[in-house]
């Protein structure tokens, strides 16, 4: 299987890398310190076509294949883990839900501004008591004429406080378990009863606001439902499966940033009258770090390849996300170790890479849940 980049993919990689090096990397530390949503950078990414990479041009997207999308997100995450989450939640989750399950009219009205980057998207699935256990959600959507009345709360919603379009999951039939969940398009500025309760003060992933949302008798028209009633759980699983490829890309990007910083530091830092890169212990650390990154990239592209071929990729996406998530944390940890005491300070970005990497093992399927998923597929 040939995963060498095509000329177009190399062009995409180089274009995104240049943007990241010139615009994102110089501001990454400030974004991390202030935890402010970088609205201007998101707008620039929209202008460059990076907010709708995998969507067809007819809906305002860039029409890129999934390899190119993963490569682009990897580069963005190399510059800022938080910005990587902004794009992943916006594109892989919110945008993809509308693209896969929306009507033509819904795609034109809601997907096009998302793909063009004029709107920001969010995906509201998790609740305080319903993270991995999605069917335990308590948010309700009650039909009333040609409208739905929605009451409930959502937690851990990336982009939730800044989104123009939110894909929301709620129970339309509370007695039907997972078969009673439906999905809807919510427009915060248009829908009375929508409230942002606040945003989380997180360990890392700064610049991507993670919000708690409340819906108090929020009324939305029936034509905002995505697909049939009761199909929301299946839609969410399919969407999250594809999204795991992009979280793998985020993990690879952060790991690359941690590795490159550690390699640079090892060449510059001297002890015992020589650069520490001359010591075999440091060389072995760098060798292991790079080997793990390359393996994670291969798993990521293997899953992307199957998705593009429209073949089953549940196991492969779970493996890519699981391995890249753990590799990003391991590589970031070794990066701190190579920096020594400086790695534990904010004078160097090594500690930021570690904080950003840890999230990969938690969201869009914890490592524990992914191991269950992989085992189910292996034993099926």
Q: Is 4 left (phi over 0), alpha (psi -120 to 50) or beta?
A: beta
Nearest of 39, 44, 47, 9 to residue 23 by alpha carbon: 44
Contact of 358 with 336, CB cutoff 8 Å: no
Whether 57 sits among the annotated catalytic residues: the reply is: no
Q: Is 103 left (phi over 0), alpha (psi -120 to 50) or beta?
A: beta
Which residue of the set 270, 311, 364, 368 is catalytic? 364
Q: Angle at CA 121, nearest 5°, toward 115 and 124?
A: 145
Query: What string of DSSP letters covers 120-182?
Result: -EEEE--BTTBSS-GGG---EEEEETTEEEEEEEEEEEETTTT-SEEEEEEESSGGGGGGGEE
Distance, in Å, from the CA atom of 295 to the CA atom of 301, rounded to the nearest integer, reads 10
Tokens matching residue 292 = 């793990």
Q: Which residue has the tokens 């009219």?
A: 105
Q: Phi/psi of residue 119, each to 5°? A: -115, 155
Distance of CA 338 to CAs 75, 98, 263, 295, Å? 23, 44, 9, 21
Burial 163-175 (b: 16+ CB within 10 A, else e): bbbbbbbbbbeee
Nearest of 253, 248, 247, 257 to residue 350 by alpha carbon: 257
Q: Which residue has the tokens 């969410």?
A: 236
List the catalytic residues.
Answer: 364
């Amino acid at each position: 299987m040939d995963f060498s980049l095509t000329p177009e993919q190399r062009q995409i990689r180089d274009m995104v890398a240049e943007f990241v090096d010139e615009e994102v990397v110089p501001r990454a530390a400030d974004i991390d310190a202030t935890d402010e949503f970088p609205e201007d950078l998101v707008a620039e990414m929209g202008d460059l076509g990076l907010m709708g990479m995998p969507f067809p041009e007819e809906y305002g997207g860039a029409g890129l294949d999934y390899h190119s999308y993963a490569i682009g997100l990897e580069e963005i995450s190399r510059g800022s883990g938080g910005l990587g989450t902004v794009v992943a939640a916006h594109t892989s989750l919110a945008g993809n839900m509308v693209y896969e399950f929306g009507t033509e009219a819904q795609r034109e009205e809601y997907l096009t501004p998302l793909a063009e980057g004029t709107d920001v998207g969010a995906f509201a699935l998790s609740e305080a008591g319903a993270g991995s256990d999605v069917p335990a959600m308590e948010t309700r959507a009650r039909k009333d004429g040609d409208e739905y009345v929605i009451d409930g709360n959502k937690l851990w919603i990336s982009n939730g406080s800044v989104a123009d379009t939110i894909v929301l999951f709620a129970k339309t039939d509370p007695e039907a378990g997972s078969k009673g969940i439906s999905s809807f398009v919510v427009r915060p500025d248009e829908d009375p009863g929508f409230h942002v309760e606040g945003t989380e003060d997180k360990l890392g992933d700064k610049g991507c606001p993670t919000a708690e949302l409340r819906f108090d008798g929020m009324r939305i028209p029936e034509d905002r439902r995505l697909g049939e009633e009761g199909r929301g759980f299946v839609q969410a699983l399919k969407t999250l499966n594809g999204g795991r490829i992009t979280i793998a890309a985020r993990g690879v990007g952060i790991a690359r940033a941690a590795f490159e910083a550690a390699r640079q530091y090892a060449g510059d830092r001297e002890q015992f009258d020589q650069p520490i890169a001359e010591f075999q212990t440091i060389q072995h650390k760098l060798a292991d770090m790079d080997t793990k990154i390359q393996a994670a990239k291969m798993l990521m592209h293997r899953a992307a390849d199957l998705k593009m071929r429209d073949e089953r990729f549940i196991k492969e996406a779970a493996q890519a996300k699981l391995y890249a998530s753990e590799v990003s944390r391991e590589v970031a940890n070794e990066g701190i170790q190579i920096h020594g005491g400086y790695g534990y300070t904010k004078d160097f970005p090594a500690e930021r890479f570690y904080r950003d990497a840890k999230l990969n093992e938690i969201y869009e399927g914890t490592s524990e849940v992914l191991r269950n998923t992989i085992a189910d597929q292996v034993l099926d």
